[in-house]
Structure 1
Amino acid sequence: MTNDDERIALFLDYENLAIGARDGLGVMPFDFGPIADALAERGRVVARRAYADWSSFDEDRRLLARAQVELIEIPQRLGASRKNAADIKMVVDAIEMAFERSFVTTFAICTGDSDFTPLVHKLRELDKRVIGIGVQSSTSALLPPACDEFLFYDRLPGVEPSQAPRRPARRGGRPAAVPAPVEPVVEAAEPEIVVEEPAAPVEDREVGPIVTSTLAGLQRHADGPVLASRLKRAILRKDPTFDEADHGFRAFGELLRHLESGGVIELKKGSAQGDPEVSFPHDASADDDAFRLLVEVVRGLQGPRFRPQLSGLKDQLRKREPGFSEKRYGFNTFLSFAKAARARNLLSMDWDEDTGDYLLRVPEEL
């Protein structure tokens, strides 16, 4: 079965994810978008459920509701019963769906808690594919090997860790719960008015980034060439409102030919007429220019006792080359682009615990 045919049920152990992202990455509130995009590249998500005591996640609750996630309330109780109740409820619902919804082929279990390892084993016994998703600092070492695929939230495109990550959560289990904030008593308080932010007009959104980011994601997980029809379906799973006509194109093929003329993508004849293969251009000279720019910028920033950090480096490249984007060269993230340079021995990258970032240096012989 191909990835296009996968029908995914998503279950989020929300407290584990949100508190892990806050403590390990400095991310607050939790951004669900990167998870939604990663799963959209793998198949159609037919169910989205998140489990938590939502009184502690008021802002998150509104964001998830806008993302069409069903919120399962686990009321606050004394002692450890609330944690157990959340775990058991999520496990029961997942097993129930596995038996009652035979069309569901894949389960995405979003947690770093090793308590869910038996659930993963049982789902695989039932011939279900399991994708795990968790924050690296709060994920047990026992959980990823049990899954068919495990995605660290930290590494998903679109996740921007803070420059100063907070104290990591306890490894191997659920991070400590955050008590609900105590609200001051205000007499005759006015009801809260939630103002919805208007969505950006479709004509103002750039069409290139969503095509290139989706293509890069499909290429990483595809077993064969990416056809235009498959690319269009994946884009619609990310953004159901997408319509090439809003960007001035009469058909998706016309949009792809426009991007090809700009050197963004490359089209080849596909297995069916009118459904070409889509890939990134393989221009060795363009790749060399991109890596040369990276090396020159790093060399200009480094000093005898100073090594530039990866964070903020992309902005430095854009000061030299305003149109720079790693996606033009087939890399989904700037980190993967930098690692490709390291693999070519163009620079060194070392993780620094003090800064929580990679430090780069160009070898003297270059």
Structure 2
Amino acid sequence: MSRAEQIALYWDFENIHASLCTLRYGPHWYRDKMNRHSRQPALVDINSIMEFINSVGEVNINKAYGNWSFFFGYSFDLQNHAVDLVQMFPRGSHGKNGADIRMAIDAIEDITLNPHISTVVVIGGDSDYVALAQKVRQRGKRIIGIGVRETTNQYWMKSCNQFKYYSSLLVKSSSISSLEKEGYETGDLEDAKKLLIKALGRIAAETGETKIVKAAIKPMLIRLDPAFDESNYGFSTFKSFLESCQDVISIHNGEHDHHISLKSPEDLARLETNARKLHPYELILQKQHVHLPDPTLLTTGIRETFALFVEHGEISGYPLFREKLDERLKAKGIEATAKDLNNIQQVLFRTFCFKLNYERQTLSIQPDVASADMLWVRAVSYLVKRITDNLEEPPDYEAMSELLFGDTENAGHLRDIHDNELWKRNSRE
């Protein structure tokens, strides 16, 4: 019998709590000192997180860092799981408590003094933990990250051996039945199918077998994408995920386990060929799981979204939102595919412009979005930032405008948006 993983667990508690506040109340709520320096609502499902941790192995060290003056609403669940609460008093005018630095120092010290520790788990979404991940892996230990999908830094996620989105843990523990209904982002199943094709191709190349044992597939998926989990796409089991992908794979009965094969061996080559045809800026977005609608639809879709909420105030969930948006576009003689509607919704969702009423299960627009122009700037700013943060050379605004809008007319607007973002970032620093 193999020895269970020996785990050291570290919570950047304010980070994950603030991320969930952003999802529920909007991006500015937690930044407000009046809100931040008061008793905090209990949003983090500690039991669901610990259920996953305990399934990985035995917890030897369990430390949570935060200003516990405001988080005492979590005290029962934290004590129930024997969490060591490390008090972090705010420092400086921005109230940053330095938890990331303290956690990193403690983690390295703990795994040095306790060589039996085999796995480090960090709960938080900051890029500050990339260096910690590198040091942990240099010492031959595994590192698992847990963070809120919508706010987690992509480089921190990729630096882990495995990364779990908080929402996927809720699905696994049956705390929620639907990601979208509860206000979490649902992964694009087409992305998962592409990853599955790559994984099967990689295993086939290594083994020479075209029919792959099911048990070998998920570890390869996680090697290719540390954040892969079928729960990200709304599936509670890996089996149900595979069954949904039968347009690209075939499932065969085996002696001890199912065997999986590509329906067409040419799928992988075709996927790689199509990827090479994408614009470099679109490739940057797709690596972050951001998908664009048809460029002629982006501006119209954003403006019609604002008009839709002005007309209705609240809408009963995301499916009805897509249906109503489709109706408005058709009334203007514009045909949008289901994929286009999903992509418009995804871009807007990433800007935290939607407000979900959890009691009535209705959607509205955040109060700070006062016009269609504001919503457009908010969405486009997000896309510009996602592209420019991953460039080593100066941005080509005309190429960016062509990608986003199908013409070069908005190149000047994109330059202004980027310059404004840089100014805001520098002023904060």
TM-score of the two chains, using structure 2 as the length reference: 0.39
| More helix per residue | 2
Which one has more relative contact order, counting CA pairs under 8 Å at least 6 apart? 1
TM-score of the two chains, using structure 1 as the length reference: 0.45
